[in-house]
Structure 1
């Protein structure tokens, strides 16, 4: 092995010199264990001495004790002299190259029967280094004897090494164990050092780094600590940063880790964001309307809801619904003549942003004219996408690029999030510099026990494996929208292969007794926006023994730290759960169903007829054959049908309300009342999603995650539809196709699902539905 090490060094020097490097500036050592060899070999010899009754054999074995380490070193030194005296090396030496010296490590005497300077006296020769401990150095000063001992009696050294295999001892096995143990000890020491550095750094940063504490049940705490130790022993944090796909499923994970380095890249190229912010402010836009879905919209929405807009900058609105009433509502809130439109789509081919763009591009042309309209549009997309090509052809104001190595839900710190943030006056440099503090805290050099992202990921992943697979997100009012972004990150990343984490966002707070034992609670608290009710509720959850993670966000400008912490945690949790956290295999299924239905509409002028199995109180109920068979016999009334449906909720299940209606404050309030009723009566976790927005978010977990959901899809008639320019279908038709396609996939996945379609007035129908559910669960 040593010969291979020396050859690698010499080859490296040659390559370095060929590139113009000065070999004389390169210094290196080859390190050899010494006393530790004798410790291991002597132990094996003692076992063999005790096992034999032959006095002669005992004597021969005894002669080898305390001899092997020095013999091994002498033979290594002889090989060193041979290697660095040949003609090949001499040519390099003439260019100033230095030999790779031999370093004797572990030279303190472990066996008190041996001289305390044995491994110094016998290892002296030119071009060697002895890393003796201080006590050995003092002893040598007192009674050591300097002489060129390494080249004395090398034949006897060879005889010792030849005798080892005859004694049944493999020097290769001994040195392999020493290397393995040595690397482990060095790694342990390095981790302790890095941990101390991180602790000191955290103290120095103080409030500049968001803090995290957690309180877990004893068994979960033990499992989390075991997971953290596994991550330390196996070097998994370093492997994650090195894009080692074996941490997950060894699929394409290595291609999707660009988010790890995006903050540094953005800071190095910050000028494009600052220039854009200046352009928006200078142009006097009153509003910015972002047209996007999922990862392209949820991050920007957090910026809009958290920061509003700075003086002199426009207000940001985020449209991510095909509901005609929702689109009309957004159109009524903006002055199209003074609005900048951000068309945001990673792939450039996503249906919703494209038809949003078609609609508002026509409206802009009608308002400001065909020549001026393109100047009101900006695209954010991956390089070379169909959206970029269209934007270039039509003369958009700007095109910003995402990174192909960053998936949509991990893209908030790329231009998909930072361009909208800059547009409303969020200082991109300050925001990203604050974020960088968390990136450094989660670095490859940060041991798991001091790595905030890894700690959180270990809690989430371990809890999921113990059956606590619902993460309930509680957030201060000032950062409440962060939960919607986090829902997508967790659900779409982990909900697949029949397992995963189900995020529960914005659920009304309740007493500890209304929650089951399938939850972890994550409380994100904005230091300047404390909510007394939340504080009391979280304290009650902790006192009742529920697992609670508390994160304090010191300032809203440090919210980027939480984007990164949770991205890291999700990647770690995905590894522990055993899934690929960067794909979304079940999202495409609903898109295919939607496309099939819209194509059917274009051919026939109508969607395929759907047959209800119940109609009453202005509400029709639909289901696939399997769910209809389970519910229809009991569907004597709307209340009875809903009672049968929600009666299927069991321990560890969750209920999800999937509403394809306008996401208005009034409708959100109705959904909150319904979910509170379900939660309080069944102790099940509850989720609310407005369609089609949730399809690009939590929809992956609903279809691909654990089959523990009970779903109520809510649809309605649209009294006033909106055309999609250039298409035969309308926004209302698209929304209906999306709802039916989504329901079909839930049914195909064997989910317990029911669709309630409201005919007539929507608000009246929602009120009736809420009352029926209340009665059903009494």
Structure 2
């Protein structure tokens, strides 16, 4: 595992802060699990959140259980592994499986269309991993009830594996229902849980080599107490030192690396850990650097960047966790809490109790797109120009899409299309393409998040970090909805309530925020992309 500095300014800033950290004994104190590092206010939380430091060894106790679960699943022909989990309960497992090239269906959404795709896929061969640290995650609970009903209606036994903390309501439900149950380490927070049961159970069921993952992490573990030759210290000093010097936009590059999707996991880890008290580091994923003075470009096993991080996936997980804890220390924030995440949850709950969701009246309509919010523009190209101009000199634009992120694959293809033509068709039907088109028109960072997944990730940074964001939310009409057994609402109503609840939380901070509602999803996406090119 190696962290190398490629730019003199980064090396200088990192050296300066690393010297202070070493003088305070931080490397050995952190490796030893000292909860006093982040100050008196954070000590109580840190005291029960540092178990991730020993997971490369302690998680080996799970290997016999994981082998048994995977063996039984194969024997029963359960080859379709579905993971119902949000944020830290899903992101690491997805990276592990994508890197190992083993199939895993991740349901970290409330979009009815995306959920229906999973529900109609190989039910007789399906095993569902239901993962929630608290055991009370709203989205996960809904998906569990939906799958329970689906298995019952099909006359199949419920093939469900539960991963949760000891003492949660989900543990009690699993015991009462006779589900397979794997208890996670209670002293590990969700976004630091990559090497815990949350990352390992679904990955093992899908066929990934989780023992090797732990081997690679354990190999780097002894280095984390060192004052020199410590990749976690080197990376943390670079992240924190750069942020203190005003370079607080973390552009993550991973072209041509054998590790697939790690920036999405890093995004949650860094944004949710550092984005509070008006401070933080903003990860920027799937974007090219703009060359501005507030960027820090980190390359993961790829050329270029101000910093390069090389090493296998298990080691990457551990080193990034350690580095993020170091960066939070330098920024004087608690890396283990998420004080603003609850705002959107509370707003959503209040909205679901209303007879009708308060969507309001659109400011204007542009074809299949309704525009809600305060805007002086009269069409979408004008609106995009207005939002881009509203970004502060040190700010960013966040695009947040509460849509089906697989819908682009339904795009019609030209007869006899080759792969390049198919890729072009997919891109022009994908809401995520809007990020790239808007990024061409500004030198400020443009981020993209799928809702409600980002609420368990960058949602903390949006509300608790520097108040310099501009927000563009996208929702869409629901065609065929999905009922939630035992609830008075459907997934479609829940999805819209989550969007409206988050928008309300953002608007209280006085930042520009606009909602675009697609009255026809496919046509609406096409209009958005065309308008972005006209802007």
TM over 0.5: yes
Residue 455 of structure 2 is matched in structure 1 by 695
Aligned partner of residue 243 in structure 1, secondary structure: coil
Aligned partner of residue 502 in structure 2, secondary structure: helix
Answer yes or no: is 1:518 the counterpart of 2:287: no
Structure with greater contact order relative to length (CA < 8 Å, sep ≥ 6)? 2
Answer yes or no: is 1:560 the counterpart of 2:310: no
Superposed structure 1 runs of 4+ greater than 4 Å apart? none
The C-alpha deviation readout for 1:246-273, integer Å capped at 9, x for no partner, is: 4213222222101011111122453222
Answer yes or no: is 1:216 the counterpart of 2:7: yes
Aligned match for 1:389, one of 172, 185, 189:
172
Taking structure 2 as the reference length, the TM-score comes to 0.92
Aligned length: 513
Taking structure 1 as the reference length, the TM-score comes to 0.64
Residue 28 of structure 2 is matched in structure 1 by 238
Q: Residue 33 of structure 2 contacts residue 53 of structure 2 at CA under 8 Å; is this kept in 1?
A: no
Which aligned pairs between 1:636-651 and structure 2 lie closer than 5 A?
Answer: 636-651=378-393
Q: In 1, distance between residues paired with 2:111 and 2:407?
A: 15
Q: In 2, distance between residues paired with 1:637 and 1:222?
A: 48
Answer yes or no: is 1:741 the counterpart of 2:521: no
Change (3 A) 1:769 1:427: closer
Aligned partner of residue 404 in structure 2, secondary structure: coil
Residue 82 of structure 1 is matched in structure 2 by none
Q: Residue 678 of structure 1 contacts residue 684 of structure 1 at CA under 8 Å; is this kept in 2?
A: no
Gaps of 5+ in 2: 410-425
By how many angstroms is 1:435 displaced? 1.3
Which aligned pairs between 1:570-589 and structure 2 lie closer than 5 A?
Answer: 570-589=324-343
Answer yes or no: is 1:256 the counterpart of 2:44: no
The C-alpha deviation readout for 1:327-359, integer Å capped at 9, x for no partner, is: 112223x31111111110000100001000111
Which aligned pairs between 1:252-401 and structure 2 lie closer than 5 A?
Answer: 252-309=45-102, 315-332=103-120, 334-369=121-156, 372-373=157-158, 376-396=159-179, 398-401=180-183
Aligned partner of residue 361 in structure 2, secondary structure: coil
Which aligned pairs between 1:399-548 and structure 2 lie closer than 5 A?
Answer: 399-442=181-224, 444=225, 446-447=226-227, 449-476=228-255, 478-507=258-287, 509=288, 514-525=290-301, 535=303, 538=304, 548=306
Aligned partner of residue 247 in structure 1, secondary structure: coil
The structure having more radius of gyration, on CA atoms, is: 1
Gaps of 5+ in 1: 1-209, 310-314, 526-533, 543-547
Change (3 A) 1:217 1:676: farther
The C-alpha deviation readout for 1:135-176, integer Å capped at 9, x for no partner, is: xxxxxxxxxxxxxxxxxxxxxxxxxxxxxxxxxxxxxxxxxx
By how many angstroms is 1:515 displaced? 3.2
The C-alpha deviation readout for 1:265-321, integer Å capped at 9, x for no partner, is: 122453222222222222221211111101001111112211133xxxxx3211111
The C-alpha deviation readout for 1:161-200, integer Å capped at 9, x for no partner, is: xxxxxxxxxxxxxxxxxxxxxxxxxxxxxxxxxxxxxxxx
Aligned partner of residue 687 in structure 1, secondary structure: strand
Change (3 A) 1:734 1:665: closer
Q: In 2, distance between residues paired with 1:269 and 1:675?
A: 40
Residue 490 of structure 2 is matched in structure 1 by 730
Aligned match for 1:607, one of 330, 341, 357:
357
Q: In 2, distance between residues paired with 1:612 and 1:581?
A: 39
The C-alpha deviation readout for 1:422-468, integer Å capped at 9, x for no partner, is: 112223322211210111221x2x11x31100110010011111111
Q: Which is helix-richer, 1 or 2?
A: 1
Q: In 2, distance between residues paired with 1:636 and 1:752?
A: 16
Aligned partner of residue 755 in structure 1, secondary structure: strand
Q: Residue 161 of structure 2 contacts residue 181 of structure 2 at CA under 8 Å; is this kept in 1?
A: yes
- Of residues 409-418 and 220-229 in structure 1, the stretch that sits farther from structure 2 once superposed is 220-229
Q: Residue 308 of structure 1 contacts residue 424 of structure 1 at CA under 8 Å; is this kept in 2?
A: no
Aligned partner of residue 689 in structure 1, secondary structure: strand
By how many angstroms is 1:672 displaced? 4.3
Aligned match for 2:408, one of 666, 684, 689:
666
